[in-house]
């Protein structure tokens, strides 16, 4: 680029996870979360996260994730932790709430209230989550960036 201008990365539209079996992946994640199935084929499925989505694709060939992971924001981590316990899935050692799904995808559970990640109010309403609040610390982080609600 001659003028030095660059595009800005502004978010994540979706995350694709490789699994061995689409039906098994949908069944596993349905034990953890409520979700709407956006669509599916024999080799892929898409579950809505409001204005984002998770994509499950068949074909996982690599070993379980070590450090590579993504943070999945939830409205109630304790409910997910209880579901993981029922399923016999243990949290990984470390300071965060990470686990491996049955295919080796590493996921960190992140509580919506305590982080600066924010969904627009109309997206939250559409998801039936219009009353989610942020902690003072998360609001402070947003305020420092000029992104806190008035």
In this structure, what is the dihedral angle of CA atoms 94, 118, 56, 45, given to the nearest 10 degrees? Answer: 150
**Structural domain includes residue 47:** yes
The answer to whether residue 71 sits within a structural domain is yes
User: Is the residue at 8 inside a domain?
Assistant: no
User: Has residue 4 been placed in a domain?
Assistant: no
Q: CATH number of the domain that 20 lies in?
A: 3.10.180.10
Between the alpha carbon of residue 95 and those of residues 6, 62, 108, the distances in Å are 35, 25, 10
Mean pLDDT, contiguous 10-residue spans, the chain (150 residues):
84 95 97 95 96 96 95 96 97 96 97 92 90 91 87
Residue 93 domain-assigned (yes or no) = yes
| Predicted pLDDT of residue 3 | 84
Domain enclosing residue 106, as ranges: 14-58+67-112
In a domain, 31, yes or no: yes
Residue range 9-27, pLDDT digits in tens: 999 999 999 999 999 999 9
* pTM score: 0.90
How many domains would you assign to the chain? 1
In a domain, 97, yes or no: yes
139 occurs within a structural domain: no
């Amino acid at each position: 680029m001659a003028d030095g201008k660059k595009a800005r990365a502004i978010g994540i539209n979706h995350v694709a996870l490789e699994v061995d079996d689409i039906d098994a992946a949908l069944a596993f994640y349905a034990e953890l979360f409520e979700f709407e199935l956006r669509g599916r084929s024999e080799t892929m499925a898409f579950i809505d996260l409001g204005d984002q989505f998770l994509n499950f694709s068949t074909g996982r060939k690599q070993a379980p994730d070590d450090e590579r992971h993504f943070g999945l924001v939830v409205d109630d981590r304790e409910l997910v932790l209880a579901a993981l316990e029922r399923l016999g899935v243990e949290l990984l050692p470390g300071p965060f709430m990470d686990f491996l799904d049955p295919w080796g995808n590493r996921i960190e559970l992140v509580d919506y209230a305590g982080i600066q990640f924010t969904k627009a109010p109309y997206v939250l309403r559409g998801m039936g989550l219009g009353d989610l609040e942020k902690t003072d610390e998360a609001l402070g982080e947003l305020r420092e960036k000029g992104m806190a609600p008035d």
